[in-house]
Structure 1
């Protein structure tokens, strides 16, 4: 059952290729009560222009619990329902801070956060490292997975009573190029333990 929620967008990942949904972007943000929410799947490039939201923007969207995803913050959006509110022309970081940290505080101990994730499934949170030790860039495969691309090509060749072959091909078109790098941070938490983390791209 869908219900309308107001979401403050904080995370938009780099597009990934999916056999089921073509090109997807994972989006996350906070609700008006400060709790986290993940919106997935979102074929961002296929949204209408007025529905393409930026970070630090409020949107209204009808969502339903994504029962195929065990993470408690995950919801499936009803894409036609997305309404993007006007974003302020200047960045007000005090206002952003009050929205993001409403009813929550950043974690500083990663072991504590991992234990919480194992206990209740938490998968979204704010973590503040004590020290950033470095930023690493590694080369990875330069092309999308060929099996996934072939599956999408097969779908694009299918005919439909309601769509032309060109429309189907456009629906399953993916981003032209894959970023051939993996990025990660190395940091310390408040216990002095070092970790490496690959952020959502």
Structure 2
């Protein structure tokens, strides 16, 4: 393994794993020695909620860690990490309309899903040409029996951490830079957590009404706030065993800047 610096761009909601119990996929940008962007990378698996507290890297932080190419995953961006080596160096802020974050992210932008695929890549960021609609869909309310069995396994050496099943998925239908239509769900942990927190803080008396409040808050954020007010980009990645299937693994949403024409008079 070699110690490298990585800018953390997004984390997916934890998934259940037979080997690791639960894992999180992190997408970030590999940096050179001068902290300039080199390429997108995927760090997987990480048992994020089991990391020591001072190693739980926030989004938009630069970390230093020992990493190496993942020989169990042929996708070129996939790396494994020694999670005991993680050091959080600094946080990249959102000042001046996300100017510093843009300097890292936008040089690595692709025009479309097809361009990502044509370059033999499986991960990248795109700017949708048109976002046609936001959607939410109900999914199974509980984990399947085999996944629940994995969560229920006792481990004498570490505490069990509940992993809630989010019973909805959220996403966008959009046209990319090539004019191709896509309908992608969002696996960004940030959005799942928004739903969960808004539902739990709802003053409603029934679970059904609490869920409605949570859904409405997510819709308000992703449709009524992001679409008219944010310069929205999608961090997209494909699935290891289904390379043609992409999803939105993170949202990049600096404020939309409206340029006013200056009058000479």
TM-score (norm 1): 0.82
Superposed, 1:129-144 pairs within 5 Å as 129-144=128-143
* Structure 1: stretches of 5+ with no match in the other structure: 158-164
2:116 match: 113
Change (3 A) 1:141 1:99: same
Equivalence map 1:25-174=2 (5 Å): 25-32=24-31, 33-87=37-91, 90-92=93-95, 93-102=98-107, 104=108, 106-116=109-119, 120=120, 122-154=121-153, 156=154, 165=156, 167-168=157-158, 170=159, 173-174=160-161
Over 3 Å counting, the alpha-carbon distance change for 1:39 and 1:134 in structure 2 is same
192 and 152 in structure 1: CA distance in 2 versus 1, 3 angstrom threshold: closer
**Preserved contact between residue 136 and residue 170 of structure 2 (Cα < 8 Å):** yes
Superposed displacement of residue 144, structure 1: 1.5
Match of 1:180 in 2: 167
In structure 1, C-alpha distance between the alignment counterparts of 2:40 and 2:163, rounded to whole Å: 32
Higher percent of residues as strand = 2
Aligned residue in 2 for 1:200: 187
Three-state SS of the structure 2 residue aligned to 1:200 is coil
- How far the C-alpha of 1:111 sits from its partner, in A, is 2.8
Structure 2, unmatched stretches of 5+, are 32-36, 189-265
Q: Give RMSD over aligned pairs.
A: 1.8
Count of equivalent residues: 181
Tell me which protein shows more helix as a share of its residues. 2
